[in-house]
Amino acid sequence: MVKGEGLALIEVKNLHKTYKSIAAVSDLSFSVDSGEFFGFLGPNGAGKTTTIKILATLVRPTSGTVTLNGYDVVRQATDVRRSIGMVFQDPSLDERLTAVENMELHGMLYGMQRGLMKAEITKLLELVDLGDRRNDMVRSFSGGMKRRLEIARGLLHQPPVLFLDEPTVGLDPQTRKHIWDYISEVRKSRGATIFLTTHYMEEAEGCHRVGIIDHGRLVAIDTPSALKKSAVKDVLTLRTSDPAVAVAIIRDELGIEPDLDGETITLTAPDDGESYLARLVALIPGITAIGVNRPTLEDVFLKLTGRDIRDEPVSALDRMRTRHRSVSRRGKH
């Protein structure tokens, strides 16, 4: 997985972070390439936010080295900060200012030249479909609109890396999809490297590479399809008029031991499940139904950590956040 040294935009080596003898992150090592869309997947409290905070210079590592855009996060914090755009888990907009004012204050903080800043603000607000609301108070924005504005703001100073910490947490499914469309739009048009944390499996599916983190440790890192291949096999399900015959045929012809449950036969494919479909149809007479179950990242996570990601109790803060956002939302997107 290690790429050429010059290509890595983020380089994390043996990173540890301990809070009062509790390890939030232990021995984390990975790298993210320029232009990559990288997802950090894990349950709440796995260490995702701690990692992102260390990368963004908000938290100092206990040990280990982290370089971003060639700068060390401890010794060259200001250079690192200039190289990143950040969308925090909780909203960080000034609600009593307008969309443009929020953008302008950001541009000024990053020392942008005025003409460039104005042009970029107009362009970015158009990109996230907020062009016609530019002079409205952020207070009147829906949860989804605020997120979009934060994404636009994070990109304003043209950073090489954009961090998105749980960008869709607390938003309803429709708004989540919207935000997601905007993120891929942003990625295509700006070509920025995106580092994302999420505990939604569907969101991680779209990444180039995914790192799975659990209890502060990196348990796997690869492309979503490779992760699925390595961790879990495809499962085929079929129904026939004579299950007993079918079981015998599968055992003899394919050398696989199938499971029979009532009328339904299930078998685990040793490799690509789809290639077995045609063979099974040809071998077994009277098939009434057949299907292949491809594993999801959810299955990968379950296999690697022994737990379902959805089993994680939702924290009180998360619940509050969801409530707060649904109250402040007024059916707008």
Partner 1 sequence: MLKPFCVCVYVIWLREIRKFARERTRLFAMLGQPLLYLLIMGQGLRAIFSIDIPGFDYLSFMYPGIIGMTILFTAMFASVSIIWDREFGVLKEVLVAPVPRSAIAVGKALGGSTTAVIQGTILLLLAPFVGISLTLVAVLQLIPLMFLLAFAITSLGVLVAARTETMEGFHMIMNFIIMPLFMLSGAFFPIGSAPEWMQPLMKANPVAYGVDAFRNIFFAGSEVLDFIVYYPLYYDVLVLVAFSTVTVLLGMQAFRKVD
Residues 142-181 that bind partner 1 (CB under 8 A): 153
Q: Is 81 in the site for partner 1 (CB under 8 A)?
A: yes
Contact segment (CB under 8 A) with partner 1 among 99-107, 127-135, 178-186, 302-310 equals: 99-107
Residue from the set 7, 105, 116, 320 that interacts with partner 1 by CB under 8 A: 105
Residue from the set 106, 176, 209, 228 that interacts with partner 1 by CB under 8 A: 106
72 versus 101: smaller Cβ distance to partner 1: 101
Shortest distance, position 239 Cβ to partner 1, whole Å: 54
Contact segment (CB under 8 A) with partner 1 among 105-113, 115-123, 207-215, 241-249 equals: 105-113
Q: Is 20 in the site for partner 1 (CB under 8 A)?
A: no
Residues in the chain: 333
**Binding-residue pattern over the window 43 to 72 for partner 1, x denoting contact by CB under 8 A:** -------------xxxx-------------
Shortest distance, position 126 Cβ to partner 1, whole Å: 22
**Binding-residue pattern over the window 108 to 137 for partner 1, x denoting contact by CB under 8 A:** xxxx--------------------------
Q: Is 88 in the site for partner 1 (CB under 8 A)?
A: yes
- Tell me, by CB under 8 A, how many residues bind partner 1: 27
57 versus 175: smaller Cβ distance to partner 1: 57
- Contact residues toward partner 1 (CB under 8 A) are 56-59, 78-79, 81-82, 84, 86, 88, 90-97, 101, 105-106, 108-111, 153
